[in-house]
Amino acid sequence: MSNRWRIFHICFLTLLFLVLTISHYHELLAGIPIIGEISISSLIGLSRLTFERFIYILLVIYAGWSLGIKVGIAVWLVSALTMLPRALFISISPIDAITESVSALTISGLSLALIQMRRGWRKQQKKLRGIKVALRTSQENYEELFTNASDAIWVHDLNGKIIIANKACEKLSGYPIDEGIGKSVSEFMSPDALGIAREIKDKLMEGQAIDQRYDQRLIKKDGSEAIVELLTRIIRDDDGKPIAFQNIARDVTEERRLRDNLRFQIHKTLMAQEEERKRIARELHDDVAQSILLLSRQLDILTSGDVHKIPKAAVGELEHIQNIANETYKSIQRYARDLRPSILDQMGLVAALNWLADELGKELGIKTTVKADKLPQLPTETELAMFRIAQETLNNVRKHAQASEVNITVKLDSNNVKMTITDNGKGFLTSRLTGDLAREGKLGVLGMEERARLIGGDLKIKSELGKGTTVLARAPI
Which of 60-74, 263-277, 317-331 shows the lowest mean pLDDT across its residues? 263-277
Is residue 471 over pLDDT 70? yes
d(CA 402, CA 86): 103
With respect to residue 425, please indicate whether it lies within any of the assigned structural domains.
yes
Cβ partners under 8 Å of residue 248, min gap 6: 151, 152, 153, 230, 231, 232
Contact yes or no for 454/263 (Cβ under 8 A): yes
Instruction: Label residue 421 by pLDDT band (50, 70, 90).
Output: very high
Length of the chain, in residues: 477
Residue 201: domain span: 149-251
With respect to residue 376, please indicate whether it lies within any of the assigned structural domains.
yes
Kind plus residue range of the DSSP H or E element containing 426:
none
When divided into structural domains, the chain yields a total of 4
Q: Which is it for the CA torsion 301, 302, 303, 307, positive or negative? A: positive
CATH number of the structural domain spanning residue 157:
3.30.450.20
pLDDT digits (tens, 9 = 90+) for 96-134: 778 878 888 888 888 888 888 888 898 899 898 888 888
With respect to residue 230, please indicate whether it lies within any of the assigned structural domains.
yes
Is residue 410 over pLDDT 50? yes
pLDDT digits (tens, 9 = 90+) for 150-181: 889 899 999 999 999 998 898 888 899 888 89
How many Cα atoms sit within 13 Å of 136 on the Cβ side? Answer: 6
With respect to residue 139, please indicate whether it lies within any of the assigned structural domains.
no
Q: Are residues 358 and 321 in the same domain?
A: no
CA-nearest of 338, 364, 363 to 352 is 338
Q: Are residues 372 and 317 in the same domain?
A: no
Contact yes or no for 332/287 (Cβ under 8 A): no
With respect to residue 421, please indicate whether it lies within any of the assigned structural domains.
yes
d(CA 421, CA 170): 50
Q: Are residues 284 and 233 in the same domain?
A: no
What's the predicted TM-score (pTM) here? 0.50
With respect to residue 140, please indicate whether it lies within any of the assigned structural domains.
no
With respect to residue 418, please indicate whether it lies within any of the assigned structural domains.
yes
Instruction: Label residue 48 by pLDDT band (50, 70, 90).
Output: low
Q: What percent of the chain has pLDDT over 70?
A: 87
- The full DSSP string for 385-404 is HHHHHHHHHHHHIIIII--S
d(CA 333, CA 141): 72
With respect to residue 137, please indicate whether it lies within any of the assigned structural domains.
no
CA-nearest of 41, 24, 29 to 97 is 24
In terms of average pLDDT, the best of 108-122, 310-324, 333-347 is: 108-122
CA-to-CA separations, 279 to 206, 361, 382, in angstroms, rounded: 57, 28, 20
Q: Of 340, 375, 407, which marks where a domain is finished?
A: 340
Q: Are residues 7 and 114 in the same domain?
A: yes
pLDDT for residue 436: 56
Beta strands 367-372 and 405-413: pairing type?
Answer: parallel
pLDDT digits (tens, 9 = 90+) for 56-82: 788 888 888 888 888 888 888 888 888
